[in-house]
Amino acid sequence: MAVPCFSEPPRIGGTLVWYFSICHREVWFMSHGIEPDREDDFLVMGRLIDENSYRRDRHSVSFGDNRFDIVKVEDGTLVVGEVKKSSRSIDAARLQLAHYLYDLWKDGIIAKGQLLFPKEKRRKEVELTEETRHRLDGVYEEIREIACMAAPPKAVKNRFCSVCAYSDLCWS
Amino acid sequence: MGKTIYIFSAGELKRKENTVVFEGEDGRKFLPVETTDELMIFGEVSLNKRFLEFCTVSHVPLHFFNHHGYYQGSYSPREFLNSGATILAQAACYLDHEKRVDIARRIVCGAMENMAVVLNYYRRRGNESLVSMLSNIESYKGKLDKSDSVAEIMGLEGNGREAYYSAFDHITGGGPFAFDVRSRRPPQNRMNALISFLNSMCYVTALSQIYRTHLDPRIGFLHETNFRRFSLNLDVAEIFKPILVDRIIFSLINKKVIQAKHFEDGPSGGIYLQESGRKIVVSAWEERLQQTIDHPRLKRKVSYRGLMRMEVHKLEKHILGDQTYEPHISGW
Amino acid sequence: MFVIMIYDVGERRVAKMLKIGRKYLNWVQNSVLEGELSEGLLAKLKAEVKQKIDHESDSVIFYTWRSERYTAREVIGIERNEINIIV
């Protein structure tokens, strides 16, 4: 059965950009409101790290369709921080953060990005360049295409399946 | 996956110190809220709104049963998995005659295959009299492909089940558990009382699992959506009734765990399980649900309860146009 | 996994530990709780404990097994709280 297409285009927030780098099927699920089981262990752990790290700087801020983990000012510049469980998918995290910076840039706000890995006690700076802006424009287009597909992209095993909260749905 | 707690005692359910507490005649019992998946309430229990609100935030559904163990209804927390796209696709499948018939046929086919698995299990243990029922089920199953209405499919399901039920006395040896015919509301003999009670446990368990997916339990495919509150759980239960409910019944009877003394006459006719009997059956049911099998695609062990959820996921994928639904057929 | 939690904490925090523990595990006897937990829930329980104890003077110990099957349990004397899914 084809899923009816919605007239409203998908709202592209940070998580959707993140999932785009991980798994296109996940993008389709998310853009159709198909959320994974809340009790999934990986989600429980993720939420926990989210809630318990950097409690001091923590000012979760909503901006458009995004939710920034941390917003602070360092040396007179706005810094947006994104907390991740591990650096296993650092490229995906980098793209997500660049998307935040791009959204801010569109509103005339220049900011810097910081990826934070509390478990590894590491941080990584992210900057917005002309090249990443161009890359993101392409990503948005692809996300819209995925969201308009009549059925989810076929399940393909990748290295994230073993820690993915959708794995019961995909592999049942 | 957390626990299902069955409450048979009389008492009060409360929220206390951010967890669930049951205060009964035998004192106070704390139930860890983080690991409680659902409460099945058989006893005379009182509770208040504050407790229900706590159940909502903790995602703990409550299921209520009456004095005879009949399902009365549920308190389900506000849905937490909600996908408009999935529900529209589910409704569209129901409204499309061919698609609905296809799903109904797949479910009945799976149910019949599992009935055959159960009978074959006992045939392999030397019960050759089951061969004729097996071939009857097989012939009804063969007619499924040619049936093109849900009513016809339902009819074949009824025929298949009748052939299957006629095997029961051959497996249990009849006696105090002779089957005769299927009688409901009220059940007329012990076998019927056992079937009714365990079937309703199976329906409620399926309902709980559906709540943890994106499908709507009100829209079934084999069972008409029109006449009842929930119907998708009845569809899912068809697949599992033979391998869960019926196998438990045979094992309880053949091992003499459940006996005539565990039943009583109802005040207005019918025969029911007594409380002691219900507790025995519920423990056996829970033990079976917690048993695990190796799941070939997920590459991990999955309990029978989990398997029910996987079945709903498979239906969900079928409905979303992702993957054709193939029912779970037991491997033993 | 199967978890046993035991705590030895300052008097003012005894009730707090019990309160936190009871949300996840079954009370067995004074300062001891047990039960089956997923890895995620155990991490959540530990995070709650960490926030409430005095790290200089309190002690909370978690024993874990991959499954209850690898444990044996024998009670001598009385069972203070029988743990059963049928209440």
Residues forming a β-bridge with B144? none
Q: Does residue B236 sit within a domain?
A: yes
Identify the weakest region by mean pLDDT among A80-94, A145-159, B15-29, B298-312.
A80-94
Contacts of A164 in chain B (CB under 8 A): none
B34 neighbourhood in chain C, CB within 8 Å:
23-24, 41, 44-45
Long-range contacts of residues A161-168, Cβ cutoff 8 Å, at least 24 apart = A163/A42, A164/A22, A164/A23, A164/A26, A164/A36, A164/A42, A165/A36, A165/A37, A165/A40, A165/A42, A165/A43, A166/A25, A166/A26, A166/A29, A166/A36, A167/B298, A168/A37, A168/A40, A168/B298, A168/B309, A168/B310, A168/B313
Domain-located, residue A107: yes
The mean pLDDT of A115-134, rounded to a whole number, is 87
Please tell me which of the candidates A33, A152, A168 has its beta carbon nearest to residue B84. A33
Number of domains in chain A: 1
Chain A residue closest to B328 (CA)? Answer: A172
The verdict on B54 and B86 lying in the same domain is: no
Q: How far C19 CA lies from chain B's nearest CA (Å)?
A: 6
Residue of C nearest to A41 (CA): C40
C87/B9 Cβ within 8 A: yes
| Closest residue, chain C, to B45 (C-alpha) | C87
Please tell me the distance from the alpha carbon of residue B291 to that of residue B307, in angstroms, as a whole number: 10
Contact C39 A48 (CB under 8 A): no
* Preceding omega of B187 cis (within 30 degrees of 0): no
Size of interface A-C (CB pairs under 8 A): 21
Are residues B268 and B125 part of one domain?
Answer: yes
For B31-48, the pLDDT digits (tens) are: 999 999 999 999 999 999
B73 backbone φψ class: left, alpha, beta (φ>0; ψ -120 to 50): left
B111 plus B18 within the same structural domain:
no
pLDDT of residue A57: 60
- Chain C residue numbers touching B9 (CB-CB < 8 A): 87
B21 shares a domain with B108: no
* pLDDT tens digits for range B222-247: 988 766 678 999 999 999 999 999 99
Domain identity same for B172 and B219: yes
CATH code, B38: 3.100.10.20
Q: Report if residue A149 sits inside a domain.
A: no
Query: Would an 8 Å CB–CB cutoff place B29 in contact with chain C?
Result: yes
Q: Is residue A46 part of a domain?
A: yes
How far, in Å, CA of B33 to CA of B55, rounded?
A: 9
Per-residue pLDDT, averaged over B171-200, amounts to: 87
Domains of chain C: 2-65 (3.30.70.240)
Residue contact B89–A1, C-beta within 8 A: yes
Domain tally for chain B? 2
Which residue on chain B is closest to A37 by alpha carbon?
Answer: B212
Q: Are residues B166 and B273 in the same domain?
A: yes
Residue A68 confidence class, pLDDT cut points 50, 70, 90: confident
Give me the CATH number covering residue B300. Answer: 1.20.120.920
Find chain B residues with C-beta within 8 A of C35's C-beta: 32, 35
pTM for this prediction: 0.90
Within the 236-265 window of chain B, which residues sit less than 8 Å (CB to CB) from chain A?
none
Please answer yes or no on whether A3 and B84 come within 8 Å at the CB atom.
no
The answer as to whether A120 is a domain residue is yes
Binned at pLDDT 50, 70 and 90, residue C44 comes out as very high
Q: Is residue B170 part of a domain?
A: yes
Is B79 annotated to bind ligand? no
A44–C43 CB contact, under 8 Å: yes
Residues of C in contact with B30 (CB under 8 A): 22, 26-27
Q: Could you tell me if A3 lies within 8 Å of chain B, comparing CB atoms?
A: yes
For residue A101, give the CATH number of its domain.
3.90.320.10
* Domain presence at residue A31: no
Pairing of strands B292-295, C26-29: unpaired
Average predicted confidence (pLDDT) for chain A? 85
- CB contact B56 to A (< 8 Å): no
Tell me the pLDDT tens digit for each residue of B86-126: 999 999 999 999 999 999 999 999 999 999 999 999 989 88
- pLDDT band, residue A12 (cuts 50/70/90): confident
User: pLDDT of B249-266, one tens digit each?
Assistant: 999 999 989 888 888 888
Domain stop point among B11, B27, B60: B60
In this predicted structure, the answer to whether residue C58 has a pLDDT above a threshold of 90 is yes
pLDDT confidence of residue B84: 87
> Which candidate in B38, B80, B320 is best for mutational testing of the A interface (most A CBs within 10 A)?
B320
Between helix B84-95 and helix B304-319 the angle, nearest 10°, is 80
Q: Residue B222, Cβ neighbours under 10 Å: how many?
A: 23
Q: Chain B residue with minimal CA distance to C85?
A: B5
Q: Does B243 reside within a domain? A: yes
Domain that holds residue A118: 41-139
Inter-chain residue contact C41 with B35, CB threshold 8 Å: yes
Nearest to B85 among A32, A38, A172 (CB): A32
Torsions phi, psi for A69 (to 5 deg): -65, -50
- Span B315-332, mean pLDDT? 93
As a whole number, mean pLDDT of residues A127-138 equals 89
What pLDDT, on the 0 to 100 scale, is given for residue B129? 86
Same domain, B28 and B149: no
In a domain, A47, yes or no: yes
A126: in domain: yes
Examine residue B207 and state whether it is found in any structural domain, yes or no.
yes
Contact C40 A42 (CB under 8 A): yes
* Span of B225-229, B251-255, B276-280, C7-11 with lowest mean pLDDT: B225-229
Name residue, tokens 């479910």. B107
Q: Closest approach of chain B CAs to the CA of C76, in angstroms?
A: 22
Nearest CA in chain A to C41: A44
Give the structural domain span for B53. 3-60
- B47-84 confidence digits (pLDDT tens): 999 999 999 999 899 999 988 888 888 998 876 678 88
Same-domain check for residues B54 and B97: no
Instruction: Please indicate, yes or no, whether residues B86 and B11 belong to a single structural domain of this protein.
Output: no
For chain B, percent of residues with pLDDT exceeding 90 = 69
Domain assignment of residue A30, yes or no: no
- B74 in any annotated domain: no
Residue pair A73/A83 in contact (Cβ under 8 Å)? The answer is no
What pLDDT is recorded for position C71?
86
> Mapping DSSP to helix (H, G, I), strand (E, B) and coil, where does residue B70 land?
coil
Q: Determine contact: A172 vs chain B, CB below 8 A.
A: yes
Sign, CA dihedral A92-A97-A100-A101, equals negative
Residue B21 sits in the same domain as residue B164: no
Considering the domain architecture, whether residues B40 and B95 belong to the same structural domain is answered as no
